[in-house]
Amino acid sequence: MGRGRSAGKRIAGSGASPGRRDNAGGTLPVGFLAGDGFIFPVVLVLLLFLVLLARAKPRENENDKENENEYFPEAIMRPLQLGLNRLRAVTKKPWDAGGGRRKFCRPGAPADDAGGMNNSNLRPRLRLLATGGTIAGAQTSGDGRGYTAGAFSIADLVAAVPQIAALAELTVEQVARIGSQDMNEAVWRQLAGRAQAALDDPGIAGVVITHGTDTMEETGYFLNLVLKTAKPVVLVGAMRPATAISADGPMNLYNAVAVAAAPESAGRGVLVVANDEIHFAREVAKTNTTQVGTFKSPNRGLAGLIHSGRLHYFGPTVRRHTAASEFAPLAAGGLPRVDIVYAHAGMGRELIDAAVSAGARGVVIAGVGDGNMPAAALAACTAAARAGVAVVRSSRTGGGLVERNIEVDDDAAGFVSAEELNPQKARVLLMLGLARTREAGALQELFRVY
């Protein structure tokens, strides 16, 4: 400091220091910090600062005190670290890029950004919400078939896949711990609330939700309709419990995090990841009781494929969702009751009448073929529609669409056709739709748009 002070004096008062010469040969005024006497201490302070900066390690989550920089608060350190890492990436030698760590890059980022992607401090922050399911299941029987869904915590699941840490910085939250056969509107509301809160946080890049596969398509479609976001939201599950031979959960979870961390996953609505496939929540259906390739998108096909964290999208979704949807995450009060009645040869009217008597405001028929049903059931549905109950015709076939007025006169009966939605998804849309309108024409329009 003594050297700096005397040098400064020299510049300011003695004229011993020549100052800088302009093109015309005149002496330019020497600025306060440009003086020779200040360069050494400033460089010294900067060097000290950079040493402290370099000592800062990335934190695995918000509670990670161990890796917190001991000299500067997070608010200062994080932007500085990001800047420093960006600088390192820009000045990286060609031989540093790529290499073995390339496969852990943030998927979809441009190839020439390899340095930035590989640096853990540039990892996106994701919120991981857990609800249970087989992905968190533990086997209970010696033969490996029996298991309890949701036995492991989300922390256990993440700890089992340490490679995830290279993709994203996760904060985790256990919203529920259930098999998805017990998923219901109350948990949907809670889940939507927690997901929306995370998505509204500017520091969070996306949300991953672990969920049982049995009703994942319903939860996914519900969130696709109510969440207000363009950020990635990814549901993930597994067909084999976490303790099984060749459990599918770890790779599914790794891929789901990769999808949620990828900027090109934004704006696609809610996605479902399993078995190296990416599905749109609107399109996906569980089609097999036990096999890992259970999820199919029968009408419009896959959203994309993912291979060990590397993404390939095939196209955008076409129906309205998330930020563009008119449905709110937390409408006041419960949603109207909607029941599904499964059609079959010899079906009578009893179950339809029972649903109406039980208070259903809507009935979805899982119809035969293109949403048809026997005459007795048709008469019961017509009576229900006349009484103000919304009747939606879907199909039990698992593919194709139910059009209006083909075999059934929907106009005369006051019915709604589900178009491409399977019965369980038609129920979700009808519940949300009935909270806004009971008019058959307006409800039909919702099935055309969503």
- Interface with ligand SIN (CB under 6 A): 133-134, 149, 179-180, 212-214, 237, 239
Q: C-alpha distances in angstroms, 248 versus 294, 339, 430?
A: 12, 33, 33
Q: How far is the CB of 436 from ligand SIN (least distance, A)?
A: 30
Q: How far is the CB of 249 from ligand SIN (least distance, A)?
A: 9
Q: With respect to ligand SIN, which residue has the nearer C-beta, 116 or 133?
A: 133
The DSSP secondary structure of 298-359, one letter per residue, reads TTT--SEEEETTEEEE-----S--GGG-S--TT-SSPPPPEEEEE--TT--SHHHHHHHHTT
Q: How far is the CB of 364 from ligand SIN (least distance, A)?
A: 21
| Residue 304: partners with Cβ closer than 8 Å, 6 or more residues away | 277, 278, 311, 312, 313, 314
Contact 363, 338 (CB under 8 A): yes
Catalytic: 219? no
Q: With respect to ligand SIN, which residue has the nearer C-beta, 240 or 320?
A: 240
Q: With respect to ligand SIN, which residue has the nearer C-beta, 294 or 325?
A: 294
**Looking only at Cα atoms, what is the longest distance across the chain?**
109
Q: What is the dihedral of CA 323, 326, 328, 329, to 10 degrees?
A: -50
Q: How far is the CB of 144 from ligand SIN (least distance, A)?
A: 15
What DSSP element (H or E) covers 117? helix 114-118
Q: With respect to ligand SIN, which residue has the nearer C-beta, 149 or 234?
A: 149
What residue has token string 């096909």? Answer: 301
Task: Give the residue at shortest CB distance from ligand SIN.
Answer: 212
Q: With respect to ligand SIN, which residue has the nearer C-beta, 105 or 191?
A: 191
Q: With respect to ligand SIN, which residue has the nearer C-beta, 37 or 212?
A: 212
Q: How far is the CB of 156 from ligand SIN (least distance, A)?
A: 16
The encoded tokens of residue 142 equal: 């010696």
Of 243, 278, 241, residue with least CA distance to 257:
278
Q: How far is the CB of 152 from ligand SIN (least distance, A)?
A: 12
**Which is the catalytic residue, given 91, 131, 134, 382?**
134
Contact 233, 227 (CB under 8 A): yes
**Distance of alpha carbon 21 from its chain centroid, rounded?**
60
Cα distance from N-terminal residue to C-terminal residue, the chain: 69
Residues with catalytic roles: 134
